[in-house]
Amino acid sequence: MTKLHVETPGDTQIIVRRFFSAPPEMVFRAHVDADLIPRWMNIMPGWTMPVCESDPRPGGKIRFAWDDGEGGGFRIEGEYIELDEPRRILHVERMFLPDPTPDNRIETVFDPAGGGTDLVMTMTLPDAETRRAMLDTGMTDGMAMTYDQLEALLAAEARE
C-alpha cells in the first residue's frame, strides 16, 4: 500500500499528500539542497542525474537533468517564486522531453504533524489536457518511489 495519496480536483490540479517521519526542517531542506536532491530523486536503475542545480531564493533557478546511459533522458527547469522555510515552497517548473511542457506551478507545504511532517504538494497546470498527459506518464508511481527513497534518506540523516 502506497503512502502517497493523489487527488485531482477540478480540471487543472493534482494534489499529492505524503507523511514523513521527520521534522519539517529536514523535509524542506531535502527539497531544496542540491547535495541531497540526487540522493532521493534519482532511483531509476541505470539512470544518472548529472545535473542538479537549486538556488533556493525567490527568482533562483532550478535545473535537474537525468540520463539513461543510452543517449536518452530529460530535464526539468524552473524558478523559485516564494520560500518560507521550513513551511512552504512555491515554484514553477517545465519538463523538456525534449520539447518543453507548459509551466507547472507547484506549491509544497510542510506541516508539522504527529512527530513528523505532512507534505501537501499542489500542482496547477494550464489545462485539463496537460494534466491528463502528466498523469499518463506514470508520474505518481515515480513520485511514490522517490518519496519512499526520501523517507529512507531522512531516516539515515536523523541517525547521523
Question: In the chain, where are the structural domains located?
Answer: 22-154
Q: What percent of the chain clears pLDDT 70, i.e. is strictly above it? A: 99
Residue 75 has a pLDDT of: 92
- Using only C-alpha atoms, the chain has a radius of gyration, in whole angstroms, of 15
Report whether the peptide linkage leading into residue 58 is cis, meaning its omega lies within 30 degrees of zero: no
What single string gives the DSSP state of each residue in 96-149? ESSSBPPPEEEEEEEEEETTEEEEEEEEE-SSHHHHHHHHHTTHHHHHHHHHHH
State the pLDDT confidence band at 76, using cuts at 50, 70 and 90.
very high
Of the CATH numbers 3.40.50.10490, 1.10.3720.10, 3.30.450.40, 3.30.530.20, which one belongs to the domain with range 22-154?
3.30.530.20
State the pLDDT confidence band at 7, using cuts at 50, 70 and 90.
very high
pLDDT digits (tens, 9 = 90+) for 30-73: 999 999 999 999 878 888 999 999 999 999 999 999 999 998 88
Q: Mean pLDDT for the chain?
A: 93
pLDDT higher than 60, residue 150: yes
